[in-house]
Structure 1
Amino acid sequence: MKLWYPGTDAIATEAVANLIKKFEGSHPNIHVEPTFIPWADYFQKLTVAYSGGLQPDVHGLGFGQLISTVNQGKYLDLQPYIEADKWEGTKDFFPDILKAGQYKGGQYGLLFPEIRPLAWRKDFFKEAGLDPENPPKTFNDIFDYAEKLKVTKNGKTDRSGIDIQTSNGEQSYLSLLLLLGGDFYDANGNPTFDSPTSIELVQKLVDLYKAGAIIPSNQQQAGGTPFQSSQAALAFISTAGAASLQQSVGADKIGWTLPPAGPDGKRTALMLGTFVTAAQKTKYPKEAWEFIKFWFESSNVLEFTTKTGMIPPLQSLKDQYVKLGPANAVAFEALKDARGYGPSGNWAIHVKYLRLALEESYHGIKPVKEALTTNAELARKEIASAK
């Protein structure tokens, strides 16, 4: 079987390779051939592969990628295999995490979630004269701290106060918008990133950018975002996203806390992650299911999430995982009030125009309000034309 997995960092590739080795050891008649592809290129290559009938048998999918394409009939419904095997694993899943991979009664993916609490560099706090054990506690604190934590040399920003991506930047934007009780599209699939709340938020971010507290970056850039490369002091980032950084600078230099409270006390965290799914047209559906089922056995889940920094989706592993480090306890606490992307076949349209609006705002191509309203209207027109 062919397996495609998004991400090429050594931590993820080694974890997947070890899993495959264990699986092949207990299933000698099944060989799994992995291919690792950078996130920036992954979905486009997967789409091309499906179009040409060359799709892998088993593959990973980002949170938004599954919910926006599951209605295209590409993916194998795992529910009949779960029922045929009377697999007890689904009962151990946190219900909301299991539900994230469901569509019209089918189970089209199993999720390894990642949560985006607030992380900070304790050593950078000390350099700025701030208490390294006292991170931002309110929404407005985030902006105050970002200003205080920026480092400039010769009139240029050498290190940003906060990691907000200016290209492909919907994730860091949404981490803040959720604290204000907002989202960038509604339950009916209509764009809402031109709301007064969103416009006000983006203006505050643009002001930070102009003040040098944010440096230009891309969510999908090689080497990771500024926080991952020690070029930012604050970030909404998962333990998976910071796994390499923890190894290089030491976990003791990184603090983790729930997102700061919004105006009405909301501390909603962004939940994303990687789904494991199979192609509907795979020649090896039973073998694909055996591999996915093996991946989600509790002992394998614990080993995989411990290595990658993802969160175990199984309730039985919570206590064991939390004991492994303070960041894990924060991650599970954040899951109590967390949201991912809502199901929408228009997700890719929303993201496309939101990204354009954010880039036009940051780079001064259009005033913030004009950038957001113009692109939201373009999104509405494209959605209407597709019906």
Structure 2
Amino acid sequence: MKKVTLGLAVVLSTAAILSACSSGNSESSASSANASSNGTEKSEKVTLKFWYPGTDEILTGAVKDVITKFEQAHTDIHVEPTFIPWADYFQKLTVAYSGGLQPDVHGLGFGQLISTVNQGKYLDLTPYIQKDQWAGEKDFFPDILEAGQYKSGQYGLLLPEIRPLAWRKDFFKEAGLDPETPPKTFDEIFDFAEKLKVVNGGTTERAGIDIQTSNGEQSYLSLLFLLGEDFYDADGNPTFDSPKSIELVQKMVDLYKSGAIIPSNQQQINGTPFQNSQAAISFTSAQGIAELRKTVGEENIGWALPPAGPEGERTALMLGTFLTAAQKTKHPEAAWEFIKFFFEDDNVLEFTTKTGAIPPLQSLKDDYVKLGPAYAAAFEALNDAKGYGASGNWAINVKYLRLALEEAYNGIRPVEEALKANADLAREEIESAK
């Protein structure tokens, strides 16, 4: 992978922010027979409480399938899953940790891990990886493995998801556009969005493009990365009030005013407009629209790398879900066995095939890509992908960026004023935290 930026950070402010194996089975099978019978776990059955973000049936079914296989191979360990909507997940997890009721193993979103890894909540998996001489460590794509690292510790393993361009071929046909030809340039994204919108009586029945207007930094970043910029710099200072960002947000607001964007929340439980067949184009993961692909048919959904920005950038946004364990779990060996089992080659390939996440193991690339165009596009996009950069000010920047975007969309402030005022507030908070 030639450019994947996935650094972890120490984040100082997180209160307002919620928001993507063994290469052979013989080693894992040998260790699993004895893994949960070390120390105090030898003579009694262990129950692991496992929380995972997301409640759609495809995802929960895939997780339950892994659990069933794990329990069959580890008869002395029972895994008790709890599925929580993304919108509520981090708050509930934070409350659980505060009360000492945290699950033994749980998922964490990309931003969630980097905003809390410095708090001493999570188990460092490094000693367990080293003890088992876990082959999966070398099979992981290095940058994806590093995404879960902090101060030489491994605090999570990432199930990555990436945001290439997806479009509805059937909607393209209705609009008189070639269903096999998506936008190829940054400017064409906006041109296509106008052509693809369906507005009747002043009401948008179908958006031209899926851009979330509340908690909407992810769709904004998918576009900003194509301009070669980020929303904060290497020192963690906000840059979302730059001229390019202002121009971009003005274009987004213009689409909103013209009816080419439907108001939506990035975290809404019922899914985004594209997931609900209410938008024609989206920067989304195959994981995010697994149910849509099932209902409308794979043949009606196209996949490609993001369109080229003015300087040729086709950088895709990368996120994902980490699996991690609580530092205070009473069953660290069993927790590690479950996480390790999840990332065994057969298991992670089956899980990612079902859900649309990307297997982080290099040995699985060929098996995954041949499954279809969505899978091939996702892996190709890994060559030029970018996640949240390392910064202790991540949460502060996200908070004020969200406020700026919502003010701009809702006409509370003109675009430039909204971005500049909130960037200044971010700078003031960053300075006061020093």
Unaligned regions of 5+ residues in structure 2, if any? 1-47
Give the residue type in structure 2 aligned to 1:10.
E
Counterpart of 1:339 in structure 2 is 386
**Is residue 44 of structure 1 aligned with residue 91 of structure 2?**
yes
Q: What does the per-residue CA deviation read over 1:145-173, in whole Å, with 9 as the maximum and x for residues that have no partner?
A: 00000001112111000000000100000
State the identity %. Answer: 79
Within-5 A mapping of 1:74-85 = 74-85=121-132
CA distance in 1, matches of 2:77, 2:391: 36
Q: Which secondary structure does the structure 2 equivalent of 1:292 belong to?
A: helix
CA distance in 2, matches of 1:151, 1:190: 40
- Find the partner of 1:58 among 105, 116, 135: 105
Q: Which secondary structure does the structure 2 equivalent of 1:15 belong to?
A: helix
Give the residue type in structure 1 aligned to 2:331.
Y
- Find the partner of 1:172 among 219, 227, 237: 219
Give the residue type in structure 2 aligned to 1:221.
Q
Within-5 A mapping of 1:365-384 = 365-384=412-431
Within-5 A mapping of 1:1-387 = 1-387=48-434
Contact 1:361 1:368 in 2 (8 A): yes
Give the residue type in structure 1 aligned to 2:398.
V
CA distance in 2, matches of 1:25, 1:305: 21
CA distance in 1, matches of 2:340, 2:391: 27
After the TM superposition, which parts of structure 1 deviate over 3 Å for at least 4 consecutive aligned residues? none
Q: What does the per-residue CA deviation read over 1:172-230, in whole Å, with 9 as the maximum and x for residues that have no partner?
A: 00000000001111121111111111111001100111111111001111221000000
- Residue 53 of structure 1 deviates from its aligned partner by 1.2
Q: Which secondary structure does the structure 2 equivalent of 1:31 belong to?
A: strand
Q: CA RMSD in A?
A: 0.8
CA distance in 1, matches of 2:346, 2:68: 15
Mean Cα displacement is larger for which, 347-356 or 129-138?
Answer: 347-356
CA distance in 2, matches of 1:61, 1:33: 17
Contact 1:68 1:343 in 2 (8 A): no
Q: Which secondary structure does the structure 1 equivalent of 2:78 belong to?
A: coil
Bigger relative contact order, structure 1 or 2 (CA pairs below 8 A, ≥6 apart)? 2
Q: Which secondary structure does the structure 1 equivalent of 2:363 belong to?
A: helix
Q: Which secondary structure does the structure 1 equivalent of 2:318 belong to?
A: strand
CA distance in 1, matches of 2:148, 2:174: 44
Q: Which secondary structure does the structure 1 equivalent of 2:96 belong to?
A: helix
CA distance in 2, matches of 1:20, 1:7: 16
- Residue 348 of structure 1 deviates from its aligned partner by 1.8
Mean Cα displacement is larger for which, 372-381 or 351-360?
Answer: 372-381
- Residue 343 of structure 1 deviates from its aligned partner by 2.1
Contact 1:69 1:345 in 2 (8 A): no
CA distance in 2, matches of 1:357, 1:379: 11
Mean Cα displacement is larger for which, 343-352 or 179-188?
Answer: 343-352
CA distance in 2, matches of 1:343, 1:71: 13
TM-score where L is the length of structure 2: 0.88
CA distance in 1, matches of 2:378, 2:284: 11
CA distance in 2, matches of 1:116, 1:257: 10
Contact 2:86 2:269 in 1 (8 A): no
- Residue 377 of structure 1 deviates from its aligned partner by 1.3
CA distance in 2, matches of 1:130, 1:217: 26
Q: Which secondary structure does the structure 2 equivalent of 1:145 belong to?
A: helix
Mean Cα displacement is larger for which, 316-325 or 343-352?
Answer: 343-352
CA distance in 2, matches of 1:189, 1:74: 24
CA distance in 2, matches of 1:26, 1:384: 53
CA distance in 1, matches of 2:323, 2:430: 28
